[in-house]
Structure formats: structure tokens, C-alpha cells
Amino acid sequence: MAESLFATAFVLWGSPVSWLELAGVVISLVMVACNIREVHWGWPLAIVASLMYFAIFWRSKLYGDAGLQLFFATVAFWGWWQWLRGHRADGHELHVALLTPKQRFLTLLAGALLWPLTGLFLLRFTDTDVPWWDAFPTAWSLVGQYLLGRKYLENWVVWILVDVVGVGLFAYKGLWFTAALYAVFVVMCVAGLREWLRRLRAGAAA
């Protein structure tokens, strides 16, 4: 059964695309579309897509990204709860907001520390041939996922950065369909940034 999921659905630019990768792409696109519109059903879709991509990335020896998918699947339950029941410190319902200058500094610091730490771990304990490039989207995705769960506008900036690097990484690994997905993600994240900025301004004007 497991091997049938990795059976070739079609070939793209000389590289086979499995049925599992094809399904993961479709679910991921719907997930991001839900996130843009603040529809909470994007979180359970994130759980499904993450488990699919865990298998895909592990098979491609992208262990950092594979491990990240398990984190995503777990944190998605937290994100789902946040969007349904979360509140700001002032007790108001969770809404689109900007990070404070201090929070932005801490966000940058977290990403800057997580990247080399993740890279060193992958270099020493796995057989990946791209430890630093695998570590970059892994580390910054942890930051982006937290910001998304708390509905901070800056999450889209982080995801744009992650997705741009992901395009090159997955293309290098021959995961062309996933690379194309991440290219679409870049466009969708720009749309998400603009939509959330519009909602932020609408909320401020209300």
C-alpha cells in the first residue's frame, strides 16, 4: 500500500511525480487559500498535508523538512485552537495584528539562532547532502508557523522567504512538482500579505 502511494502519476521535466506528491500539492493549495481568508479549516488540512510531505521528504533525504512536517502536524492542532478560541493579551478575540518592535527583534533572533543549530544537527546526525539549505526553511518555518497561529501579519513575510528558498531546494532534489507548488506559494503569500494588510487597516478604521 505504501509503495503504491509513491507510484508515478506522471513525469515532470524528467522527474517522476508520485500520487502522494500530487495529492499533497492539491491539499496544500487549498490550505493556504483558507489561511489567506482566515478560514480555520486550513489547519486540519495542514495536518493531512504535513503527514504526506513527511513521507515525501524523508524518502528524498530532506530530514530537516521531514521532521518539520511532524512539527507542523502537531502545532496545527494548537493553531486550530488559537483561531477558534485564542485571545490577545487584552482579552479581545484573536485578530490580524502587527508585531511590536521588540517582538520583531525577538522573531529575527529566533530565526537567526535556529538556522545554524538546525544545520549543525543535520550535518552531524543525518546523511543529507544539503544540511544548511535544508535547515534554512526548517528553522524559519518554525517561526512562521507561530506567527500564523497568532495571526501576526509578518507571518506572510517569513513564508515568502521560506518558499523562495524551498523552490531552489526542491528543484535541486528533483521534486519539480513540489518546487512548482512553492513557487505558487510565493504568489499566494504575497496575496495573503495584501489581504491581511487590508483587514488590518479595515479593523483600525472601524
pTM comes to: 0.84
Which pLDDT band, with edges at 50, 70 and 90, does 4 fall under?
A: confident
Which pLDDT band, with edges at 50, 70 and 90, does 134 fall under?
A: confident
Q: Residue 145 and residue 205: Cα distance in Å, rounded?
A: 28
Residue 64 vs residue 80, higher pLDDT: 80
Q: Residue 18 and residue 5: Cα distance in Å, rounded?
A: 7
For 181, other C-beta atoms within 10 Å of its C-beta total 23
Residue 5 pLDDT > 60: yes
Q: Residue 137 and residue 135: Cα distance in Å, rounded?
A: 6
Give the three-state DSSP class for 16: strand
